[in-house]
Amino acid sequence: MRFFNLTAIMAAVAFATAAGPVRADERIEVVATFTILADLVRNVGGDRVEMTTLVGPNADTHVYTPSPSDARKVAAARLIVLNGLGLEGWLGRLVKSSGGAAQSVIASEGITPLKPSHDDHDDHEHGHDHGHAHGDVDPHAWQSLSNVKRYVENIRRALAEADPAGAETYRANAERYATRLDALDQEIRSTVARIPEDRRKVISTHEAFDYFAKAYGIRFVAPQGVSTDSEPSARDVAAIIRQIKKEKIPAVFLENISDPRLIERIAAETGARIGGTLYSDSLTDEKGEAPTYIDMVKHNIRTIADALN
């Protein structure tokens, strides 16, 4: 810990003396904890913010272990944007140990949190024993667009406070982005409306889609009695197959079962269709299918609709 502190402080000092005054255009340094927030901040802040993301594309925010260079980034930041709802359990210590004086804003402030419906946290998508520190609320609030509008508003306010000169820009950007979110929301609703009502359910181990499910009326059925470690037992597989047959679930999104052949087996034996990849916790990089938040949501709804229609 001591070493960590020292590096952080040294790095912070070095950074402050070296990089601080050179910057001609007064861009403000903002740190976002993960890619989805970073994308939102970028949309609101535009050119006026210098973005840094702690947990990069495709990485898992729940189990992130900060590195000394993260402490440096945090120390140098003017504003830290975090999701809250217990997602970034590791951030508090990082902020303290970095010794920076950044403001932080909790993007999810003001939304109505859901309780996690999956009690059994062992069956998170990758099946590791995560030591999930979710506590009693579900942090994946960004899967509902009305929540994200709230996020955007919170981010806009925080940016305006940190950089009053840009307040007008931020307001305009936020408004423009909110319009796009509204359009996307409409698109999702009309897409869901085209899916026959009795087919609006998938079996999924994703615990991240409760907000999505609630907002748009697609049921995410959790496979029962499955605690998927590295290897599911024959009983687990049999249980999933029986359940899919019984509830006549048209599509499976079972990404925590990492062996695609097993999913194919399940699909072959039940007649259910295999859904593609759903992105829940993280954006992909530029070349991926979901480089921005809006792309991600579009990709998810298209994938779900393809599997159900």
Partner 1 sequence: MIYDVLVGPFLEFEFMRRAWIGVLALALSGAPIGVFLMLRRMSLVGDAMAHAILPGAAIGFLISGLNLFAMTFGGLIAGFVVAALSGLVARNTELKEDASLATFYLVSLALGVTIVSMRGTNIDLLHVLFGNILALDNRTLMVIAFNATITLLVLAIIYRPLVIECVDPVFLRTVSRAGAPTHLAFMALVVINLVNGFHALGTLLAVGLMILPAGIARFWSRDITGMIAIAVFAAALSGYAGLVLSFHAGMPSGPAIILVAALLYIASVLFGSAGGLLRQWFPGRHLEA
CB nearer partner 1, residue 233 or residue 309: 233
Residue found by looking up tokens 């899967």 in the block: 143
CB nearer partner 1, residue 58 or residue 146: 58
240-244 long-range CB contacts below 8 Å, 24 or more apart?
Answer: 240/203, 240/266, 241/266, 241/269, 241/270, 243/203, 244/203, 244/270, 244/272
CB nearer partner 1, residue 145 or residue 226: 226
CB nearer partner 1, residue 194 or residue 287: 287
Q: Closest separation between CB of residue 233 and partner 1, Å?
A: 5
DSSP-assigned letters across all residues of 35-98: HHHHHHHHHHHGGGEEEEEEE-TT--STT----HHHHHHHHH-SEEEE--TTS-TTHHHHHHHH
Q: Closest separation between CB of residue 154 and partner 1, Å?
A: 28
3-class SS at 179? helix
Q: What stretches of 139-201 show up as alpha helix (H) in DSSP? A: 145-162, 167-194
Q: Closest separation between CB of residue 234 and partner 1, Å?
A: 4
DSSP for residue 122: G
Q: Closest separation between CB of residue 239 and partner 1, Å?
A: 9
SS (H, E, C) 195-224: CCHHHCEEEECCCCCHHHHHHHCCEEECCC
Q: Closest separation between CB of residue 278 and partner 1, Å?
A: 13
Select from 282, 294, 218 the least CA-distant residue to 250: 218
- What does the binding site for partner 1 look like in residue numbers (CB under 8 A)? 58-60, 126-127, 229-238, 241, 258-262, 264-266, 268-269
Query: How far is CA 71 from its chain centroid?
Result: 22
CB nearer partner 1, residue 2 or residue 261: 261
CB nearer partner 1, residue 125 or residue 138: 125
Q: Are 144 and 211 in contact (CB under 8 A)?
A: yes
Q: Closest separation between CB of residue 55 and partner 1, Å?
A: 10
CB nearer partner 1, residue 61 or residue 143: 61
Other C-beta atoms within 10 Å of 248: how many?
A: 12
Q: Closest separation between CB of residue 168 and partner 1, Å?
A: 39
CB nearer partner 1, residue 192 or residue 266: 266
Amino acid type, 305: A
Backbone angles phi, psi at 22, to 5 degrees: -65, -35
Q: Closest separation between CB of residue 92 and partner 1, Å?
A: 24
